[in-house]
Chain A
Amino acid sequence: MVPTNYYLILSAVLFGLGIVAFVFKRNIITIFMAIELMLNAVNLAFVAFSQSWQKPDGEVFVLFVIVVAAAEAAVGLGIIILTARNRRSLNVERVDLLKL
């Protein structure tokens, strides 16, 4: 049997890598993907605890997290498409003025 701590350590490592990607990448879409990576790390922690305490509640929460991530990705990518069309660039460093 795999101890629950191993899953939690993996979840923490993935979350940390998501933060590193979020801070250091310049393409807005890659930053979005780092957010998804962080959400996935949290899902892993939820399922690990659900297995550890033998209750199904954690897995129901994972379903909600996945649904919310889907809704957020849809709207966020729509906003990204509009912004990128207006500013002609996907680089977050170019989005530094309120007016174009």
Chain B
Amino acid sequence: MSASLVIFFLLAALAVMAAISLIAQRHPIHSALSLIVVMVALAGLYLLMGAEFVAAVQIIVYGGAIMVLFIFVIMLLNAEAEERTNFSKLATYAGIPLALAIAGFIAAAIARSSGSLPAAEPSGALTSTKTLSMLLFSDFVYPFELTSFLILVAILGAIVLAQREN
């Protein structure tokens, strides 16, 4: 039981428990906090795999900007806790086991195909920031420019949506 395996199981358990908490909580702000825990746990897993720049970007962008946006919107809209209605009893008792069965089936299928993928070393210098940026600006420059254009469009869209009707 090497140290990496122990850390993996701890972080994986944290991520799964936080995801279950996202489903189980009634108030959206508690769901948002659980999602932040999932993202930080995933950033820890990326660090374990040696993808340090991606881990930092995950926390800075996802955890520090996108989730803050979610929390602002929840606070601004004064979101309340969900009321319990009777309609979803069938869905709960039949649906959740079915969804978990599907996930379990996929997981078992993956686990059974253990021969095809090598379990490699954490890729340290291979995926350093320098390598990623060289790739980003040489092979992937077209998607890079497209995503910057996409962000510009999103900013314009958000500004237009946020204007009051005068």
Are any A and B Cβ atoms less than 8 Å apart in their complex?
yes
Give the A interface residue count (CB, 8 A).
69
Q: Does A95 have its Cβ within 8 Å of any Cβ on chain B?
A: no
What string of 1s and 0s marks CB contacts (under 8 Å) between B1-19 and chain A? 0101100100010011001
Judge whether A16 and B119 touch: CB under 8 Å: no
Q: How far is the CA of A5 from the CA of B110 in the complex (A)?
A: 7
Question: Within 8 Å of chain B (Cβ to Cβ): is A74?
Answer: yes
CB pair B135–A43 under 8 Å, yes or no, is: no
Q: Which residue of chain A is the closest to B99 with respect to CB atoms?
A: A20
Besides A24-B95, A44-B45, 5 new A-B residue pairs in contact (Cβ under 8 A), listed by A number: A24-B23, A50-B51, A63-B57, A68-B147, A70-B151
* 22 A-B pairs (CB sep. < 8 Å): A1-B121, A3-B117, A6-B12, A7-B45, A9-B107, A9-B110, A10-B12, A10-B45, A16-B102, A16-B103, A19-B99, A27-B82, A30-B31, A36-B62, A37-B38, A52-B120, A53-B120, A54-B120, A59-B53, A60-B132, A78-B161, A91-B82
